[in-house]
Amino acid sequence: MRQAGRSLPEYRALRGSGSILDAIADPDLACEITLQPVRRYGVDAAILFSDIVVPYHAIGFGVDVVAGRGPVIAQPVRHESDLERLRDLTEGDIAHVTATVDRVVAALAPSDTPLIGFAGAPFTVASYLVEGGPSRDFAVIKTLLHADPALFERLSERLVAITVAFLRAQIRHGARCVQLFDSWAGSLTRDEYRRFALEPTRRVLEGIADLGVPAIVFGVGTGELLDLMATSGADVVGVDWRVDLDDARRRVGDRAVQGNLDPARCLGSVEAGVAGAREVLAHAGTRPGHVFNLGHGVLPSTDPAVLEAIVRVVHDEGRAGV
């Protein structure tokens, strides 16, 4: 997941207490943070150090990431006129991101380790832009969906265009896979997901299909949506820890799956973490098409030794993924 290195002491020493957006804006720093988990754990891919609000910060929409809270929007979307602030994203706007990708790809070249880029899916980004920050009940965005679906559709169109531009830039500079985080899709009913989230996700994936890289789609609490997510055009469907992988595989059909160790299982002993990993591998079975991962981000208090042991057991006992 995208915060793979945040439990590392070397990460905390390098990051300090500054803003994550400032760290992302420094290509040398962002490159080093991206590489730290690869060096420490020997994982099979690097994940770009970035954030889903980076393109919206880059176009001056008025986004900040507040420590301990997350993305905060100075002027949330309320009216049609607010969409004017969502201008097209150019590669120049995100030169710091593409410079980071260039550095990471060059550093990984001798080992042929791939870099995974990512972006926020339209519905999840819209949730932040409309709510003004993280939410527990998503009352504002859900009210908008049903009270003014036409405005939400126009908002989604702008977010699709920005997301496609963001992902295409990462791929052009060397990302060999991308992940689309629809973190808050689990707040939706199945009908709401079909009406408001699935089609924008499809359009994003269609917008990068010609570049020929695999795409992963992931959401939190989306067990009841997995079959729908599998129709988005993604090659891989990420699964959180609430659904057993054998059940998830039945729900997604011929799609590959990614997941799904509960991050909390990594907070105890090495033995407990390894036991959890083996349970995931057992549920995944011997059928190809499983990318082992946590079911959400690494918790900051995780002991790196536990993650090191989990990587070893997956390499020793798991099968090759997609």
Which residues does the annotation mark as catalytic?
2, 6, 15, 51, 128
Give CA 286 to chain center in angstroms. Answer: 26
Long-range contacts of 272-276 (CB under 8 A, 24+ apart): 272/306, 273/306, 273/307, 273/309, 273/310, 274/309, 274/310, 274/313, 276/310
SS3 content of the chain, % helix, strand, coil (to 5): 55, 10, 35
Strands (E), the chain: 46-47, 63-66, 70-73, 115-120, 177-181, 215-218, 236-238, 256-261, 290-294
Closest residue by Cα to residue 200 from 159, 235, 230, 247: 159
DSSP string, 52-105: TTHHHHHTTS-EEEETTTEEEESS---SGGGGGG-PPP-GGGGHHHHHHHHHHH
The CA radius of gyration of the chain, in Å to the nearest whole number, is 19
